[in-house]
Amino acid sequence: KKKKRRKKKKKKKKSGAGAAAGGGVPSKKAHGRLLGENSFTDYYLKYNQTEPPTIPVSQLFEGKGLEYPEGEITPHPLESNNYRENSDEKRARDRLQADIYSKVRQAAEVHRQVRSYAQSFIKPGIKLADMCQMLENKNRELIQEDGLSRGIGFPTGCSLNHVAAHYTPNPGDDTVLQYDDVMKIDFGCQIDGRIIDSAWTVSFNPRYDPLLNAVKEATETGIKTAGIDVRLCDVGEAIQEVMESYEVDIDGKTYPVKCIRNLNGHSIGPYQIHAGKSVPIVKGGDTTRMEEDEMYAIETFGTTGRGYIVEDLECSHYMKNFHAPHVPLRLPRSKKLLAHINKTFGTLAFCRRWLERPDGGSTAVHGTKGKQEKYMGALKNLCDVGIIQPYPPLCDVKGCYTAQYEHTIMLRPTCKEIVSRGDDY
């Protein structure tokens, strides 16, 4: 018996060393529910990544002369678009943007690897602040964070239950994830301002499955309906029809799943997460059409509550107004904080946790000398004068449950590419 045991130990060590060297067969499953049946949290081993991942994504692909993986390619809906796939003109337009597509796909691969890694440790009992820190540090590592040119797209949302979006722990928040929680993980990656925005819902209790399925199906319908020349209102109507065909039983009471009618998807521009167009998730919206070369975050939110959110709770997310006017600032502290924000985040979103890191949000920019002290008054002042916009948590009624799924899509001249698609969702 002793001999056998020793052999086993040796074998285990070997597999560990092999894994650390990179490569191997993906085998680990996530703790959360309803991720794709072919999804493994160590899927990136097929690219000779290590487990846990430590090699920057650019070295796995560019370093070996490989192209970044494409997202899922589908044709544009509407008969008027049928010509696009084989049009020489549209193909030429496509080729002209190859460098942009490459950046977007690199950011998307980082997103997939980071979220798969996160799925391996997100389970009941983890402190949300620790979870965000682990996820964000891995994001910085795999994207090779370099100030504004590449890094995190926006703070990691980990909104629980009746909170639908824009919650991340502030310093001192010790919230712990529970078995009965429904958590929306929403994070981003950016390279040269090209932002990947994608989100999924984590739950452990099977009673929420119909809620998650409703939202997942609704998001897939939104993605399927979207395309060049499609009216935004038509996407919203298709989403609502699917979402509201579901109901969910919780503790013997049946709730209809409702769309959260004042939340929507959005177009994405360089360094601009919300670039001006909104994709509704209910009928009766804007008749504006989607256009060639736009990028969209298609996201849907379902709830067991009233289907309408309000701003509530302590604010953690902030972002510089993309069209911020030049305002003469009186307070030296405000000037100093604004200079820090301009240099570190530009017009990308940030959170209070990042301002209190030793690097103030970017090691590449500040080394270990970036930490902001006593900044709350200055931050409030910048918000009051309209340079910075606060984004407080968005909440439905207390006691209800909300879910979210989101993907980033590119409306290419020849096709629609769902860049953030993975085996998981």
Question: If you search the block for the tokens 């998001």, which residue do you land on?
Answer: 219
pLDDT at 11: 37
pLDDT at 4: 45
pLDDT at 22: 61
Catalytic residue annotation: 186, 197, 266, 274, 299, 406
Mean pLDDT value across residues 45-56: 95
Q: CB 306: neighbour CB atoms within 10 A?
A: 13
Structure tokens at 53: 């991942």
pLDDT at 285: 85
Mean pLDDT value across residues 351-371: 97
pLDDT at 3: 44
Q: What are the strands of the beta sheet with 388-391, ordered from one edge?
A: 350-351, 317-320, 388-391
Mean pLDDT value across residues 158-183: 98
131-144, pLDDT tens digit by residue?
Answer: 999 999 999 999 99
Pairing mode, if any, of strands 388-391 and 247-250?
unpaired
d(CA 85, CA 217): 26
pLDDT at 386: 97
Phi-psi region of 193 (alpha: psi -120 to 50; beta: other; left: phi over 0): left
Q: Residue 364 to residues 149, 271, 356, 357: CA-CA distances in angstroms? A: 10, 18, 16, 13
2-15, pLDDT tens digit by residue?
Answer: 444 444 443 333 33
d(CA 354, CA 9): 42
CA angle 335, 336, 340 (to 5 degrees): 115
pLDDT at 24: 85
Q: What is the mean pLDDT of the chain?
A: 94
Out of 27-41, 238-252, 385-399, pick the least confident: 27-41
**Residue 118 pLDDT greater than 60, yes or no:** yes
pTM above 0.85, yes or no: yes
Rg over CA atoms, the chain: 22
Mean pLDDT value across residues 253-275: 98
Mean pLDDT value across residues 310-332: 96
Structure tokens at 242: 């699917």
User: Widest CA span of the chain, in angstroms?
Assistant: 78
365-376, pLDDT tens digit by residue?
Answer: 999 999 999 999
Pairing mode, if any, of strands 265-268 and 317-320?
unpaired
**Residue 158 pLDDT greater than 60, yes or no:** yes
Structure tokens at 318: 């902030």
